[in-house]
Amino acid sequence: MHDSAPLTQTESFAEPSQRYFNRELSWLDFNERVLELVADSSIPLLERVRFLAIFSLNLDQFFQVRVGELQAQREAKLGKRSYDGQTPAEQLHAIGVRVRSLLEQVEHLFTEELVPALRTRDVLFTTYAELGEDDKQQLKRIFEAKIFPVLTPLSVDPAHPFPYISTLSLNLAVIVRDRDLDDGAHRFARVKVPPRLPRFMALPDGRRFLRLEELIAANVGTLFPGMEVLSHCPFRVTRDASLEVDMDVPAGDLVLAIETGLRRRRRTNLVCRLEVDESMSSEVLEPLTSELELEHDDVYTSRVPLDLYALSALYQLDRPELKNERYLPVTQPQLMAAARDKHATGFFDLLRTTDVLVHHPYEAFQTSVQAFLEQAASDPAVLAIKHTLYRTSGPTNAIVHTLNRAAADGKQVVALVELRARFDEAANIEWARMLEEAGVHVVYGVVGLKTHCKTALVVRQEADGIRRYCHIGTGNYNPTTAGSYEDIGIFSADPALCADLSELFNYLTGCSRQAAYRRILVAPESLRSALMQEIHTEAEAPDGEIAIKVNNLADPGIIDALYAASQAGATVDLLVRSICCLRPGVPGLSERIRVRSVLGRFLEHSRVFRFGSEARGRRYYIGSADLMVRNLDERVEVLAPVDDPALRQRLDEVFALGLATADSWHLDAQGEWKRVRTDPAAHAQTRLQKLAKERWAAGAERAKAGP
Contacts of the segment 87-92: beta carbons below 8 A, 24+ positions apart: 91/22, 91/24, 91/25, 92/67, 92/297
**Closest Cα partner for 699 from 344, 335, 333?**
333
Q: Report which residue type is found at 404.
A: N
Q: Report which residue type is found at 670.
A: Q
**Cβ proximity of 630 and 528 under 8 Å:** no
Cβ-based burial of 681 (10 A; exposed 0-12, middle 13-18, buried ≥19): exposed
Strand partners, 20: 582
Task: Evaluate the CA torsion angle 562, 567, 573, 576 in order and state its sign.
Answer: positive
Longest dimension (CA), the chain: 94
Catalytic choice (360, 452, 605, 683): 452
Interior/surface letters 446-473, b for 16+ CB within 10 angstroms, e for the rest: eeebbbbbbbbbbbbeeeeeebbbbbbb
Cβ-based burial of 318 (10 A; exposed 0-12, middle 13-18, buried ≥19): exposed
Q: What DSSP line would sit under 205-220, residue for residue?
A: TSSEEEEHHHHHHHTG
The vertex-56 CA angle with 54 and 62, nearest 5°, equals 100
Q: Where are the beta strands (DSSP E) in 452-503?
A: 455-462, 465-473, 485-492
To the query of whether residue 452 is one of the catalytic residues in this protein, the response is yes
The vertex-535 CA angle with 530 and 539, nearest 5°, equals 145
Three-class SS of residue 265? helix
**Closest Cα partner for 302 from 273, 278, 281?**
278
Give the Cα separation of 694 and 315 in Å (integer).
Answer: 29
**Cβ proximity of 687 and 324 under 8 Å:** no
The number of beta carbons lying within 10 Å of the beta carbon of residue 653 is 15
Active site residues: 452
